Structure 1
Amino acid sequence: MSEDPSTGADPKKIEELQKEVERLNREKAEAEAQAAAEAHAAAAAAEEKAAAESKMKLELESQKAAADAKMQAELESQRLAAEEAERKRQEKQARSKSRRRKVIGGIILLIVLVLIVLVASAGVSVQPGTTTNYPYITTYSVWFPIGEEVDISGHKLIALGTGDEMMFSIDKGTPTKLIRGEPIVIGEQAATLTTLFGKVPIMTINYKVSLEYQGRTAENQAYFKMLILSDRSIPEFVVNFMLPKNVIAQPA
C-alpha cells in the first residue's frame, strides 16, 4: 500500500499556500481591472481626441466656409459696384453724346437756316460794265422759247420764227436774221451777287454774252450756244440767277 502524501501535511503551510493563491488571484484581478480601466481611459481619451479633432475640423470647415462666403460676398459686391460704375459711366457717356449730338445738331440747323436765309435772300443786280479783259469763258447750251421775250443781263431778247427763217431782236430793235454759227454779242455788263435782300454784296463779275444760233428744235425753240466771257470764274448758281425762268440752260 502506498502512503498518502498529504498525510501529515502542515495545515499552516496549506493555509499560507491558499492565502498566497488568493493574493495572486487578487493581484491578477486588480491588474486586469487596472488594465481594463487603462484601456477604457485610453479609449475614452482616443474618443475625446477624435471628437476634439472632429470639432476642430468642423470649426476649420466652418471658418473656411465663412471665409469663402465672405470672399464671395465681397467679390459679388465688387462685381455689382463695377457694374453700377459701368452703368453710370455708360449713362454719363450717353448723356454726353446726346448733348454733343444736340449741340452739333443745333449748330448744323443754325448753319442750314443761315444758308437758307442767304440763298433765299440772294439776288443779282446788273449794271453796265467797263472791263475789256475777259480771261474766263463759260459755255452753255440754251433754248429760247420762240415768240416770248426773255431778259438776259438787262437786255430784252426775242426770237421770232418766220417760215424757215429765224429772226432775233435785242431791246425791241429791228429784228435781224439769224445765221447758224454767227455770234450775236450782248454789251458788257457787271453783275453783283448780293444776299440779305440786296443789302450785302458778295461778288461783282464783269462779263459779256455771245450767242451763236445753232438751229430750231422740234419743240419750237431756238437753240443757241451761249458763251459768257468774264473777268472771273462764274459759279453755275450765279448763271441761274442771271437767266430767266423761260430759258432752258445747261453747261456745254
Structure 2
Amino acid sequence: MSEDPSPGADPKKIEELQKEVERLNREKAEAEAQAAAKAHAAAAAAEEKAAAESKMKMELESQKAAADAKMQAELEAQRLAAEDAERKRKEKQEKSKSRRRKIIGGIVLLIVLVLVVLVASSSVTVQSGTTTNYPYITTYSVWFPIGEPVDISGHKLIALSDGNEMMFSADGSVTKLVRSDPIVIGEQAATLTTLFGKVPVMTINYKVILEYQGNTAENQAYFKMLIQSDKSIPEFVVNFMLPKNVIAQAA
C-alpha cells in the first residue's frame, strides 16, 4: 500500500514508508508462500494417507481373499476326504456283504447238498414190531389200482372188483368189503436209515388200518388209511413205506 507524498513531505519518511510497505508485502508473500507450502504439504500428506489407507485396504482385502480361499480349499479338501472315506467305507461294506453272501451261499449250498445226499441215500426197512402202545395217529387218503398187487410194509395187497362188490386180498387171504370195513395190517417196526443204510436215523413201531370207502371212476379203490405209531411219523417216511402205484394224500 503506498501513499502519494504530499507536497512538502519529508523524503526520508517517504522512503521509510516505502520500505515498510515492501517489508509488509514480503511478509505477506512469505506468509502466502508458507500457507501454500503448508497446503501443499497437507494435500501431499492427505494424498499419502489416502494412498496408505488404500494400500492397507487392498492388503486387508487381499489377506481376506487369501484367507477365504484357504478356508474354501480346506473345506473342499475336507469334503473330498469325507467323500473318499465314505466311498471306501461303502466299498468295504459291499465287500463284506459280498463275502457274507458268498459264505452264506456256500453254507446253504453245502446244507442242500448234504440234505440231498441224506435224502437220496435214505431208505426204510420194515420188520415185525413189538410195541402195543400207539399214541400217534396219522390219517391218509389212499387210492389202490384195482387188480394190481401193491406191497405195504412187506404185505402183499390186491384190490379186486367183482361187479358191485370189492374183494381184497391181503397176503393171500381174500375178504369181501363193504364201505367202512377195516383191514388191519399187523404191527411193524420201520427203521429209517441214511448214507445207504449205514446210519440209522429212527425206528418207528406202528400198525396200519385200511377202511374201504368205495371205488372211483378211474378204476381205483379208495381207502382211508390210519397209521397208529409210537412216535410222530414224518410224511417223507410214509412215502418211503408206500409203493409208487399207490396214491396217498394226508387227510
- Is the TM value for this pair above 0.5? yes
Note closer, same or farther for the CA distance 1:132–1:18 as it changes in structure 2 (3 Å cut).
same
TM-score under structure 2 normalisation?
0.95
Give the AA of the match of 1:10. D
TM alignment of 1:175-214, pairs within 5 A: 175-214=174-213
Equivalent residue, structure 1, for 2:227: 228
Q: CA deviation at 1:186?
A: 1.1
Q: CA deviation at 1:7?
A: 2.2
Q: Does 1:154 align with 2:154?
A: yes
Give per-residue Cα distances to partners, 1:174-228, cap 9 Å, x unaligned: 4221132221111211101111111111100011111111111111111111111
In 2: Cα distance, 1:100 partner to 1:180 partner: 59
Residue pair 2:141, 2:249 contacting (<8 A) in 1 also: yes
Q: CA deviation at 1:14?
A: 0.8
Equivalent residue, structure 2, for 1:240: 239
In 1: Cα distance, 2:46 partner to 2:82 partner: 52
In 1: Cα distance, 2:94 partner to 2:141 partner: 54
Q: CA deviation at 1:113?
A: 1.0
Give the AA of the match of 2:228. L
Equivalent residue, structure 1, for 2:55: 55
Deviates more, 1:217-226 or 1:36-45: 217-226
Residue pair 2:165, 2:178 contacting (<8 A) in 1 also: no
Equivalent residue, structure 2, for 1:91: 91
Equivalent residue, structure 2, for 1:163: 163
Give per-residue Cα distances to partners, 1:13-36, cap 9 Å, x unaligned: 111111111111111011101100
RMSD after superposition = 1.2
In 1: Cα distance, 2:224 partner to 2:95 partner: 58
Give per-residue Cα distances to partners, 1:39-96, cap 9 Å, x unaligned: 0000000000000010001001101111111111111111111111111111111111
Name the SS for the 2:85 alignment partner. helix
Give per-residue Cα distances to partners, 1:125-184, cap 9 Å, x unaligned: 11111112222221111110000011100111111111111111122x142211322211
In 2: Cα distance, 1:203 partner to 1:157 partner: 26
Specify every segment of 5 or more residues in structure 1 that has no aligned partner in the other structure, as ranges: none
Specify every segment of 5 or more residues in structure 2 that has no aligned partner in the other structure, as ranges: none
Q: CA deviation at 1:6?
A: 2.1
TM alignment of 1:32-111, pairs within 5 A: 32-111=32-111
Give the AA of the match of 1:182. D
Deviates more, 1:209-218 or 1:45-54: 209-218
Equivalent residue, structure 1, for 2:16: 16
- Deviating above 3 A after TM superposition, structure 1's stretches of 4 or more consecutive aligned residues are none
State the percentage of identical aligned residues. Answer: 87
In 1: Cα distance, 2:173 partner to 2:238 partner: 27
Give the AA of the match of 2:115. L
Give the AA of the match of 1:196. L
Equivalent residue, structure 2, for 1:112: 112
In 1: Cα distance, 2:222 partner to 2:91 partner: 64
In 2: Cα distance, 1:150 partner to 1:100 partner: 50
Count the aligned residue pairs: 247
In 1: Cα distance, 2:242 partner to 2:160 partner: 19
